[in-house]
Chain A
Amino acid sequence: MTRGEHLRNLVLLGACAVALTILPHALTVYRRSFVLFTMMYVVLALSWNIISGFTGYTSFGHVAFYGIGAYACAILVADYRWHWIPTLGVGAVLAALIAVVIGYPVLRLKGPYFAIAMLGAAEGTRVVATVWDSLTHGGLGISLPSAETSLETYYAMVTLMLVTIVVAYGVGHSRFGIRLNAIREDEVAAEALGINATLYKLAAFTLSAVFPAVAGGIQAYKVLYIDPPAVFFVQITIAMALMSMLGGKGTVIGPIVGAVILYTAQELTWVNFPTAHLIAYGLFIVLVARFMPRGLVGLAIDRGWVRKGMIH
C-alpha cells in the first residue's frame, strides 16, 4: 500500500472518530447503547481475526478473555473500590498472561483440535469463575455500585475500538502480518523459511486476547451486573467468528464490516422476532460458509474492486 493510501485511511478513521465523539449527544440512551455494543463487537471480531484470520488458528474460546476482563473490572470495582478505568489495564495484563499460559501448549494443536481445545479452555475458565466463590461470588454474580453515566463507557469503547483498529491495521499491513499469513498457509514451509512459528503464534494469540479483555471490562461497568453464564457465553465467540467470516477473515476491514452488519441485523431480528433470531443465526452460518467462504471482502476482490493481498 502506498503512503497516500495509508494517509487516506488515517483520515477516514479520524473522521469516524470525530463523528463517534459527537454522535452520543444526538442519541437516545437506547441508541447510544446500541452504538456502544456495535463498537464492542468490532473490537471482538478484529481481535479474533488476528489469531484466527491472519494466523489461521480458529479459536472457539475467545470469550474466555472477554470474561476475564469483565471479572477483573467487576471484582476490583465492587470489592476493592477501585476506579473502573485502571481495572481495564489489570484485565488486559491478566488476559495476556493467561493467553501465554494457555497458548503455549494449545497452539501446538492444529485445525479442529485447536478449536476444540480453546472451547475447553473457555469452559474451564467459566467453571473456575463459578466455583471460586471467595473471589468471584460464584454463580450469584457481581453487582457493581452504580456511578456510571453512560457517556463514560461510551467514550471508553470508542477509544478501545480506535486503538484496536489501528493495531489490527498495523499488523495487517506489515511484514509481521505477512508472516502470520505464511504460518496460516503452510506452517512447515514458513518454519523452513526462517519464521519462528511458535513465537509468532504466541504473539498473535496474546495480542488477540488483550482487546477482548478490555472490552469485557467496559461492558461489565456498562451493564453493572455480571455472572459466569453471561460473560462466558459461547455465543459471543461464535459471533466473533461469524462477523469476521461474513466481512472477510484475514482482512482488516472485513471484521469491522461484518460486526456492524451482523450486530445490527441481530438487534433488529431480536427485537422483532425473539425466537426466530437463533434460527436465523444458524441459517446464516450455513449460507456464508456455502456461498461466501471468503466473505464480503473476498467477493469484492473477485470483482476486482479491492486488490489482493495485504501488502501492495
Chain B
Amino acid sequence: MDGCSFVVPRGKISGLIGPNGSGKTTTFNLLTGLLEPDGGQVIYNGENLAGLKPYQIFRKGVTRTFQVTRIFREMTVLENMLSVTGLGVPERVARQRAEELIAFVNLGHLRSEYGGRLSYGQQKLLEFVRALMTDPDLILLDEPAAGVNRTLLQHLLDHMHRLQEQGKTIVIVEHDMNVIMNHCERIFVMDYGVKIAEGPPAEIQRDERVVEAYFGRRR
C-alpha cells in the first residue's frame, strides 16, 4: 500500500471495497497492528496507533474479525468468548455478556462445542460476536457476510445498525454489493493498494474508475 489515505466517519457504517488483492485486508492489518506500516500514520481519537502492538490497539477500543475465520478451534464457543474480556471484568459479568451474545447469533445450544466443530457460517457468527465482547468503539469486519445465510445476515445487519445508533464506528469489507450499497453511508474503493474513489453509495455506483477496476478494461 502506498499513498493511500482516508478518514472514516465516526459513528457511521462505512464500506471498503475493491477487487481481490487490492489491499483491503492489508488495510485492516495495518490498522490493527498485525502489520507495521513502513511509513504513514493511523490516527484514532487523535492518537497515532502506528507501531503499537495489536493488543494495545485492541485495548484502545479497536476490534476486528478475520476474512478467513480465526476461531480458537480446540476451545469451546463459550471459552472463545471469555478469552477476550480483560481480567479486570468480573467473570460473572463476562459470562452473562457471552451468553447473551451467543444466544443472539443462535449459537446458544453450541456453547460447549469446540469452535473447530462449527460450520463455516457459524464460525463467522462466533467471530462477529467475539469481537463485541469488550464493547469496542471501532469495529472492523472483514467479509462478515461470506457463508452466512440470508436470515442471519439480516439479523447481523440489523445489529450493526443498532451498534451504530449506540455511537459505534463500523467498517465493512465486503464483496456482496447489496450489503455495501444498502447499509454503508460512505464507501472507499481500493485498487492496487491505493484508494481510487470515495463517496456515498449512489456516487460510487456511477464512478467510472470503480466500474473499470471491477469489470476491467486493460487490467
Which residues of A pack against B, CB within 8 Å?
Answer: 175-176, 178-179, 181-182, 184-186, 188-197, 250, 307-312
Contacts and interface: CB of A to CB of B under 8 A. Distances in A.
B72 A185 contact: yes
A308 B70 contact: no
B86 A178 contact: no
Interface of B: 32-34, 53-55, 58-59, 63-64, 66, 70-76, 78-79, 82-87, 91, 94, 112-114, 130-131, 134
A175 B87 contact: yes
Contacts of B32: 192
B55 to A, nearest CB: 5
17 contacts: A178-B82, A179-B83, A181-B83, A185-B72, A186-B70, A191-B53, A191-B55, A192-B33, A192-B54, A192-B64, A193-B130, A194-B59, A195-B55, A196-B53, A307-B112, A311-B79, A312-B78
Contact of A176 (B55, B58, B63, B87): B87
Given A191-B53, A309-B114, A311-B76, 7 more contacts: A175-B94, A191-B58, A192-B54, A193-B55, A194-B86, A308-B76, A312-B112
B94 A185 contact: no
Contacts of A310: 79
Contacts of A179: 83
Given A175-B82, A175-B91, A185 B73 contact: yes
The residue among A176, A185, A192 with the most chain B CB atoms within 10 A of its own CB is: A192
Contact of B83 (A182, A196, A250, A312): A182
A196 B87 CA distance: 12
Contacts of A309: 75-76, 78-79, 112, 114
B58 A192 contact: yes
Contact of B75 (A176, A178, A191): A178
A128 B24 CA distance: 52
B75 A182 contact: yes
Contacts of B71: 186
